[in-house]
Structure formats: C-alpha cells, structure tokens
Amino acid sequence: MKVAIVSGSVYGSAEEVARHAQAIIKDAGHEVFFNPRATLADLQAFAPQALLAVTSTTGLGELPDNILPLYSQLRDTLPAAWRGLPGGVIALGDASYGDTFCGGGEQMRELFMELGVREVQEMLRLDASESVTPESDAEPWLAGFVSQLQA
C-alpha cells in the first residue's frame, strides 16, 4: 500500500515522529512518501492509498506554519480520489494549554473528515508535558495503524 505522511512541526518533534512513522510503515512492507515540505501536487503524483498526518500545535491551538500551505490547498481542492482512503492523525501538544491541547491535530482530523478519509483508529494525542520521547510513545499506535492498513 502507498502511504503518504504529511507533517507540521515548529521545533522538529512532529517531523521526528513522522520520520519514525515512515520507517515503521516502510518496515511493514508499505511504500511511503514523506516530505515535510510536500505540496498537493507532490502528494497527488504519489497517488496515496492511505494518509497519515503528524502535527504539533502552535499558539492558540493552530497548525504550524510549514503545513499551512498544504492544509489550505487540500481544504480548497478536496481531492475526490482520496474519499474513502484509510488514514489517521498523530497530534503533539502540551496539555497545560488546556482547551487548545493538540488543536493542530484536531484541525487535520477535521480536514481528513471533509476529504472523506476514513479514520482507522482514534487520533493519538502526545503530551509534551509528560514525555520527551514522542517517537517511541507513538510506536504502539503506529503498530495498530499498520495492522489496520493490512486488514
């Protein structure tokens, strides 16, 4: 299966989680596209069969600047070819921010719903106030994600 990973990161943690996810998904036998500066054209050229978003949260629960152009392109275009694809979201945040905790991930999750992407398991929320190893914290969720893709 061809899996596209998109990421939004400010300080690099979400990008590291995305790179780790890329390795895990590739090791499971899938073809993976990951480019932190991917455009909609890049993703469409890859023709994904599954989608994974990994994003941190900034400011008042918003997406990082590096993923905003892609987010806007997707929201404005809503590629019909992606309707029904399996997908998932890994959100990084800090629970001390209260209501905006993992808000960037929530925005990607809502966009995936608008695109018709089928969430194969509930969004993973990684709390920076509780962990310094989000890559390894994501491993059990990623194992479940991979098994859902193979189901």
**What is the model's pLDDT at position 150?**
86
What does the DSSP assignment read for 100-151?
Answer: GTTHHHHHHHHHHHHHT-EESSPPEEEETTT-S-HHHHTHHHHHHHHHHHH-
Predicted pLDDT of residue 113: 96
> What value does the mean pLDDT of the chain take?
95
Q: pTM to 2 decimals?
A: 0.96
The correct CATH number of 2-150 out of 3.20.20.70, 3.30.450.20, 3.90.1150.10, 3.40.50.360 is 3.40.50.360
Instruction: Specify the pLDDT at position 119.
Output: 97
Which residues in the chain land under pLDDT 50?
none
What is the percent of the chain with per-residue pLDDT over 70, rounded to a whole number?
A: 100
pLDDT digits (tens, 9 = 90+) for 13-44: 999 999 999 999 999 999 999 999 999 999 99
| pLDDT score recorded for residue 12 | 92
Pair of tokens at residue 67? 């993923």
Residue 44: partners with Cβ closer than 8 Å, 6 or more residues away = 79, 81
